[in-house]
Amino acid sequence: MSTGADLYVYKNREELLKSARELKESFQARWQRNGIEGQLAEMQDMEDSMTRPDFWDDPDKAREMTQRKSSLEKKLVPWKDLNRDLEDFPELVALTLEEMDDTDAAMQQLSSDFATMESRFEEVQLAEALMGKDDQLNAIVTISSGAGGTESQDWAQMLLRMYTRWFDRKGFGYETLDLQDGEEAGIKSASLLVKGESAFGYLKSENGIHRLVRISPFDSNKRRHTSFASVHVAPEIDDDFEIDIEEKDLRVDTYRASGAGGQHINKTDSAVRITHIPTGVVVQCQQERSQHKNRDKAMKMLRSRLYELEREKREEDAESRAGEKRDVSWGNQIRSYVFHPYKMVKDLRTAFETSDPEAIMNGELDDIINSYLKSLASGEGVKVTVNPDIE
């Protein structure tokens, strides 16, 4: 909501009502596209069913319906409330201007009320984007450096720092599952388990290639370099979720872990790397001292990655049938971070951009992530730019 110095104060009633009509039209278009009317009818049918004397004769069915109604109610109440307030706003404008002698003060109050409705509309759109099947789950985030040695490995570490700062801002918990240091600086890769409400829903926006342009701190001639790193995000799926993995399809390697962890860490082959041969997916874990525990965590990572691959395949099939294509796999750039010759971060799918890359690198990611989520909720889809320089 806009408040204080950044609040736009409308000059007159006509200007304000015109903006209110435009907001109402946008809201109603989204209402229709999201099938809110049908969902309200479904909720009313469930309320009617719950008043019948035989409702609890089938306890399992009753609990399922109760949970569904609760979920729908949580989603639909903000839509209903905002719809009512948009309908009532012209009357509120008339009453306020009639009752308040100071027209300027009245326009200030009404402008604030309208800004609140705009903010609420953004909130329901964002909530809609987080209603996906897996969005409420924890996330497994893997950052990998691209071609380019030290430059890309340093960039991968910068991304790791950026995300962990954002996790702290959001109150998300996280643990490092695997960390591979670079030869001279930075990291080759890192895998983290991120825990929090809608962790995967938010972080799915980060799937893809991230491009950095800067004056290299590793180049004595101070030349400009372009570096790439990939970010892969998968939902952490439950152990009882069925993913068919056959032992014959796995290659399991053990090696000595590296990095912090005490003297024991370089004395035993406790780290585990698992390759799923049919898909080429590779996961590794070195967090635990026990090889057995690392293998269990690596298998959990593998199951999540394979689940995500299958989900992406189904989405691509559906989009192909619909005549659309959205690909955020390795080799497709989703975002550019430019430090030189100018300063800018631009998301190539939504056209969101900012001239403050320092804030982004310090974990201020809400605006750029939310712009992606709202583009999904709008039904407009997203675009990516293919970059042939990525391995």
Chain centroid to Cα 350, Å, comes to: 13
Tell me the two tokens of residue 157: 């570490």
Tokens 């004056």 sit on residue: 215
Looking at the 3D structure of the chain, how many domains does it have?
3
Q: Give dist(CA 159, CA 143) in Å, integer.
A: 8
Greatest distance between any 2 Cα atoms in the chain: 82
Within this chain, do residues 141 and 231 fall inside the same structural domain, yes or no?
A: yes
Strand 281-285 and strand 353-354: pairing?
unpaired
Strand intervals (E) in 52-183? 139-145, 173-181
Within this chain, do residues 149 and 117 fall inside the same structural domain, yes or no?
A: no
Residues with Cβ within 8 Å of residue 272, at least 6 apart in sequence:
252, 253, 254, 284, 285, 286, 291, 294, 295, 298
CATH code, 315: 3.30.160.20
| Last residue of one domain, picked from the residues 286, 319, 352 | 319
Q: How far is CA 196 from CA 95, 169, 206, 314, 322, in A?
A: 44, 12, 16, 26, 34
Q: Is residue 342 domain-resident? A: yes
The residue among 335, 157, 353 whose CA lies nearest residue 259 is 157
Within this chain, do residues 51 and 125 fall inside the same structural domain, yes or no?
A: yes
Provide the total of helices (H) and of strands (E) in the chain, helices listed first. 9, 12
| Last residue of one domain, picked from the residues 296, 319, 342 | 319
User: What range does the domain containing 43 cover?
Assistant: 4-129
Q: Is residue 207 domain-resident? A: yes
Within this chain, do residues 307 and 343 fall inside the same structural domain, yes or no?
A: no
Q: Give dist(CA 320, CA 333) in Å, integer.
A: 21
Within this chain, do residues 298 and 229 fall inside the same structural domain, yes or no?
A: no
Surface-to-core class of residue 110, CB atoms within 10 Å of its CB (0-12 exposed, 13-18 middle, 19+ buried): buried
The strand pairing partners of 335, in sequence order, are: 210, 347
Q: How much is the pLDDT for 334?
A: 94
Kind and range of the H or E run holding 19 = helix 13-33
Q: Is 182 helix (H, G, I), strand (E, B) or coil?
A: coil
Q: Is residue 350 domain-resident? A: yes
Within this chain, do residues 175 and 192 fall inside the same structural domain, yes or no?
A: yes
Q: Is residue 385 domain-resident? A: yes
Whole-prediction pTM value? 0.73
Within this chain, do residues 264 and 374 fall inside the same structural domain, yes or no?
A: no
Q: How much is the pLDDT for 385?
A: 43
Q: Is residue 158 domain-resident? A: yes
Q: Are 107 and 9 in contact (CB under 8 A)?
A: yes
Q: Give dist(CA 296, CA 285) in Å, integer.
A: 9
Q: Is residue 182 domain-resident? A: yes
| Last residue of one domain, picked from the residues 82, 110, 129 | 129
Q: Is residue 326 domain-resident? A: no
Q: Give dist(CA 167, CA 15) in Å, integer.
A: 41
Within this chain, do residues 84 and 43 fall inside the same structural domain, yes or no?
A: yes
Reading the chain (391 residues) residue by residue, the pLDDT tens digits are 444 557 999 999 999 999 999 999 999 998 998 899 999 999 999 999 999 999 999 999 999 999 999 988 988 999 999 999 999 999 999 999 999 999 999 999 999 999 999 999 999 988 888 888 889 899 999 999 998 789 999 999 999 999 999 999 999 999 999 999 998 899 999 999 999 999 999 999 999 999 999 999 988 788 899 999 999 999 998 765 667 889 999 999 998 876 544 444 455 678 999 999 999 999 999 888 889 999 999 998 998 889 888 877 776 664 444 343 343 334 468 999 999 999 999 999 998 999 999 999 999 999 999 999 988 876 655 554 444 343 3
Within this chain, do residues 124 and 96 fall inside the same structural domain, yes or no?
A: yes
Q: How much is the pLDDT for 267?
A: 54
Within this chain, do residues 157 and 57 fall inside the same structural domain, yes or no?
A: no
Q: How far is CA 1 from CA 7, 75, 236, 255, 307, in A?
A: 8, 20, 34, 53, 38
Q: Is residue 242 domain-resident? A: no
Q: Which amino acid is at 125?
A: Q
Within this chain, do residues 25 and 171 fall inside the same structural domain, yes or no?
A: no
